[in-house]
Structure 1
Amino acid sequence: MESVKRLICMLLAFLCIGGCRNRQTLTEQQPQEPQQSTKIEVDNAPSNHVPSETEEPEPVLPLAEKIICVDPGHEVTSQRVQEPISPHSNATKEAFVGGASGRNQTEEQLNLAVGLRLQVLLEEQGAKVIMTRTTHESDMTSYKRAQMANENHSDLCIRIHADGSSDASVYGMSMLVPYGDQLASQDIVQPSQAAGECVLNAALAATGAKNNGIVQRSDLTGFNFAEVPTILIEMGFLSNPDEDARMETEEYRDKLAQGICNGIIDYFASVSDNQ
C-alpha cells in the first residue's frame, strides 16, 4: 500500500514539472508587444514654399516711354486759309500749298506712305506715336500740326517731306532744323540739331542717297510754333527722274522709314548717354 502511494506521488510530481515547462515554452513563444518608436517622422506633406526661379527681366525697348509725333507733310484739301508764320510776328502765309510732284506720285502721297511705315516701326520699338494725319484728306495746317506735337508733350516731332526743283538734275537728301529769333522756344534749337544729324546720317546709310546736309530755317510755321524738338527731312527730289522712280518703289520707301527710325533710336541713345 505504501508503495502505491509513493508511485502516485511520483506521478503527480512528474505531471507538475511537465506542465510548468509547457507554460514556460508557451510564454517564450508568445510574441511581445512592439515598443513605441521614438523616431521622429519626416513630414512629407507638400510645402507651400515654391523655390524662386531666376527670371530674366524683359528687355527694355529703345523707344519705351517716348512720345514721337510723325507729321507727313501736305494733304488733300479744298480749304484756302491763312496761318501765322511766327508767334513773334503778325505776318501770315497760305496754310495749304501743293507739294512737289513726280511722274506717278505726289509729295503728299509719298509722305503719307513713308509716315505710316515709320509709325509701325516706331511702335515696334516701344514709342507712343502721334500722327498728324493718316489719310490723304486733311485740314491740318502747319500751325495745328505744331500745336498737336506741343499738346502731346512729344519728345520729338519728325516732319516728312520731299523736294522739288526746276532743275531736274538736282537730287539728294537734306535735313531742315529750326533756328532764329522767330522761334517760340530757343530751347528746341540744340536738341533739334542733334536729332537732325542722327536721323539724316541714319537715313543716308539706309538708302545710299546723296547728302545735301543740314539747313537751318527760320521761316517755317511748323518750326516757329514748336515747343518740342522738331526736324524736317527732305527725302529726295521728285523732280529728278531717277530719285522719283526710287521713291515710288515699296523697297525704297521701306528703307526711308527704317533709316528715319534708326536715326531716332540713335538720337535718344545719345541723349541717354549724355544724362
Structure 2
Amino acid sequence: MPRTPALPPDALIPGSPKRRTILKAGGTLLLSVVAPLTASAAQIMAVRVWPADEYTRVTLENDGELKTTHFMVPDPPRLVVDIDGLALNDTLKSLVAKIESNDPYIKQVRVGQNRPNVVRLVFDLKEEVKPQVFNLAPIAGYHHRLIFDLYPVKPVDPLASMIAKENWTTDAAPATPTPAVQPGEPTVGQAGPDAIAKLEADAARAGSTPAQPQPTTPQPAQPHAPAKAAPGQKVARMVTIALDPGHGGEDPGATGTTGVHEKDIVLAVAKRLKAKLEDLPNTRVMLTRDADFFVPLGQRVEKARKVQADLFVSIHADAFVEPTARGSSVFVLSEKGASSSAARWLAADQNKADLIGGVNLASHDRQLASVLMDLSQTAQINDSMKLGKAVLTEIGGINRLHRGVVEQAGFAVLKAPDIPSILVETAFISNPEEEARLKDDAYQNQLADAITKGIKRYFAYNPPLAKSRMT
C-alpha cells in the first residue's frame, strides 16, 4: 500500500511560508470542485403547458441549457424524466397545478429531488405516447427552453378528425357555393375573358376609396339543410377549404399595445370564417389549429394536403416598428423574390415561427421539406393570385388597404405545390386604432364576411374541378 508523503515539519506552524502555500493550494482545489457544481445549478424561471388533441407540450424555461435523460414505464403508462444540474424551486413545483383535467394525454405530474442536483419529473399518462424531448436556444424574449412534446402513438389524422367533428351531408348539391355576383358578372363556370382584369380594377378602386365599415352584430351560423339536386343536375363534390390561424402556443405572434396577442385574434377570426364558409352548400373547412397550441409551418401545409384542400387561407395580423403603419394586405408566394421590401421583411418575420414556436429538428421530415420548398409551381401561384385579388377586393370594402395590389414574397406556409394559397394580413395589430378594431366582435365578423365573399367570387370564375387523390 503506497504511503502518503509526510508534511514538512514546519507545515502546521502558524505563519509558516510552507503552511500558507499548502492552505492556498487546498483552497484553490476546493474552489475548483465547488465552483462547477454551483455554476451548473440552473433555475427554472417559468413553466407552461399547452394541451391539444394533436399533442401536449410542456415547456420549462430556464437560465441555462439542461441535460436530461428520459424513459417510458408501462402499466400504467408513465414518462420519467431526470434533469441534471437543476435545483428544485417553487416555480417548477407549480407545474403540478398546471395540468388540466381535460388534457388528452397527461393525467398528472409529480416533481421531486431525485438525488443531489438531479430533479425527477414523472408524467402519469392517460395513454401511451411517443415523447420528444429537446432544448431550444434563447430567441424572441425567451430564455433557454426544455420542451416535452407528448404525441399519441397513433397520430391524429386531419381528415378523419375534420369529418368526426362535423356532420356534413354528401347529398346532391349545386356544383359550387352560389357566388354573390353583381348584374353583368359571369356566373359559375362562365367567366369572361376580362374577368381577372375586372378583379384587378375592383381591387384598385377598393384600395383608393375604401368604404367605411358599418358595425354589425355577429349572428351565429345556422346549420343549413342539404340542397337537393334538380332532375338531371350534376352532383357536386365536396369543396374543402383549409384555414390556417397563424402562430399559437409558444409562438404568440405580434403583440398589440394593450397586450393582445396575434395568435388569439386570428384564431377568433378563423372560427368565425369557418362557420360562415360551412354555412355554404357542400363546403367543409379544416382548421390547422382550433386551440392555443403551436403547429410548425410545414405541418400546416401538410395538413391541408392530407385533407385534399381546394384552397389554403392563412390568417395573420401585421406588426411593424412604426405604430402608424396600417391597412389590410393579401400575399401569395413568389418564385422570383418579394414584390416590395415590406413584403420581404414580413415574410422573413413570419418564417421565424418554427424557431420561436420550437421544432424538434431531429424529427424534422427532410423529404417533406424538400417537397414544400419546390418553387416550380407556376400554376399554383397563378391560381393563388386570382384568389388573392378576389379576397383583396372584398376586404377593401371594410378596411383601408396597405397596398391596392396582391403582394408576393417567400412565405414558407404558402408553399403547397398543389393548392391555391394566400396569406391575409387582417390589419396592423401594432397600430392602436387597428388593434382596437381587431379586438371588436363586429369587425371580426366583417372580416369573416369579406373573406367568405372573396372565396365565393373566386369560385364564380374558377369552379373547382374533379381531382384525383393527392400523394
TM over 0.5: yes
- Pair 1:128-2:281 in alignment: no
- Higher helix fraction: Structure 1 or Structure 2? 1
Residue number in structure 2 paired with 1:269 = 460
| Equivalent position amino acid for 2:177 in 1 | P
Is residue 2:391 matched to residue 1:199? yes
The answer to whether structure 1 residue 254 and structure 2 residue 409 are counterparts is no
Tell me which stretches of 4 or more aligned residues in structure 1 moved more than 3 Å.
Answer: 57-61
CA, structure 1 residues 184+105, in 2 after alignment: closer, same or farther (shift >3 Å)? farther
Once the two structures are TM-superposed, the CA of residue 60 in structure 1 deviates from its matched residue by 6.5
Q: Could you tell me how far 1:74 is from its partner in structure 2?
A: 0.5
Of residues 171, 177, 193, the one that matches 1:62 is 177
Per-residue CA deviations over 1:217-257 (Å, capped at 9, x if unaligned) read: 12x22122443111000011011111111111000000001
1:171 to 2:344 alignment: no
Larger radius of gyration: 1
Amino acid at match of 2:378: Q
Equivalences, count: 196
Q: Deviations over 1:83-122 (max 9, x none)?
A: xxxxxxxxxxxxxx54111124210000000000000000
RMSD over equivalenced CA pairs, Å: 2.3
Q: What amino acid sits opposite 2:377 in the alignment?
A: S
Say if 1:106 and 1:165 are closer, same or farther in 2 by CA, change over 3 A: same
Give the letter aligned to residue 253 of structure 1: Q
User: Which of residues 245, 254, 264 in structure 1 aligns to 2:436?
Assistant: 245
Aligned counterpart for 2:375 among listed residues 183, 200, 222: 183
Amino acid at match of 2:290: T
Contact 1:184 1:227 in 2 (8 A): no
* Match 1:101 to one of 233, 244, 255: 255
Query: What runs of 5+ residues in structure 2 fail to find an aligned partner?
Result: 1-171, 179-235, 337-373, 466-471
Query: 1:75 pairs with 239, 248, 259, which one?
Result: 248
Shift, 1:66, TM fit: 1.1
TM-score for the superposition, normalised by structure 1:
0.66
Counterpart amino acid of 1:133? R
- From 283, 300, 306, the equivalent of 1:145 is 300
The aligned amino acid for 1:188 is: Q
Contact 1:150 1:226 in 2 (8 A): no
- Structure with greater proportional strand content: 2
Q: What TM-score do the two structures reach when normalised by structure 2?
A: 0.39
Give the whole-Å Cα distance in 2 for the aligned partners of 1:225 and 1:154.
10
Q: Which amino acid aligns with 1:70?
A: L
Query: In the alignment, is the contact (CA less than 8 A) between 1:61 and 1:125 conserved in 2?
Result: no
Report percent identity of matched pairs.
Answer: 30
